[in-house]
Amino acid sequence: MDRGDDLIAAARAGDPAARERLVSDCLPLVYNVVGRALDGHADVDDVVQDTMLRALNGLGGLRDPARFRSWLVAIAMNQVRRRWTANRRRPTVGLEHAREVPDPDGDFVEVTIVRLGLSGQRREVAEATRWLDPGDRALLALWWLEVCGELTRTELAEALEVPAGHAAVRVKRMKEQLETGRVVVRALTAAPRCPGLAALTAGWDGRPEPVWRKRIARHTRECAACSAHRRSLAPAEALLAGLVLVPPPSHLASAASVRLTGSAGALRPPR
């Protein structure tokens, strides 16, 4: 049994120090998965803490400690899906898509750019994630961790609960959408902006939405000037490889430590 297995065994036995260490070790991984999947939604903190709570309370059912990370990430993905479902059922209070409303103080793209100091094409990759559909953002959260060296492809597939071949197909399609988003970002930030694109986006409110992704992407394919933006794109894998995890905010780390490592009676029940 390695040190990681020992830690999991001690946490499963209820050792407070081991539980606190496990929360501390795993919080950045879960925060990065949930933060990107929910695109900075105000529910990120709740989903992260609910994920950790379910993981701690479910350690007794984990038969193979070597699968802990993929098991933990699968719990995080299930909690993300639960929150999507809950928000779709929640009264919208005049908002068309309540589940898509971001926390203005928790925009995960901006958090990533600032905390990791991203610039150039790395920054463009981060900004392009705003143009992904919700399902692709969730997959992007896992794939980003894979190229950063935090997850293996096997762990990614296990977290998605699909065969490795199916996971590869889904990743390929997501990467194609990400590349489209990168071209869109580059075309929109070009100075000066292409006159045709400027005319196309004259009535746009600036919010990344699928309909505008399709319109702008179509323009970049048909416009000689904008199509040139695609030629100098470096592979996203090369740009993201070796990046560290975005550190969770201090308030989340403190709250997680207090709520998740206490006695069983003090733990907040899962939603």
Give how far the C-alpha of residue 134 lies from the chain's centroid of Cα atoms, to the nearest Å: 10
pLDDT in tens, 142-198: 999 999 999 999 999 998 989 999 999 999 999 999 999 999 999 999 999 999 999
Rounded to whole angstroms, the Cα distance separating 8 from 85 reads 31
Q: What is the pLDDT of residue 85?
A: 82
Give the pLDDT confidence score for residue 165 in this predicted structure.
95
Give the Cα separation of 144 and 80 in Å (integer). 17
The confidence score (pLDDT) of residue 100 equals: 46
User: Phi and psi for 245 in degrees, rounded to 5?
Assistant: -70, 150
Per mean pLDDT, which range of 52-56, 224-228, 251-255 is the poorest?
251-255
Mean pLDDT over residues 208-236, rounded? 95
Per-domain residue ranges of the chain: 3-266
pLDDT value, residue 271: 42
Nearest CA to 69 out of 176, 151, 174 is that of 151
Read off the pLDDT of residues 166-181 as tens digits, 9 standing for 90 and up.
Answer: 999 999 999 999 999 9
Q: Looking at residue 266, what is its pLDDT?
A: 38
> How confident is residue 258, by pLDDT bands cut at 50, 70 and 90?
low
Query: Has residue 54 got a pLDDT over 90?
Result: yes
10 Å Cβ neighbour count for 85?
Answer: 11
Q: What is the pTM of this model?
A: 0.83
Task: Report whether pLDDT(19) > 60.
Answer: yes
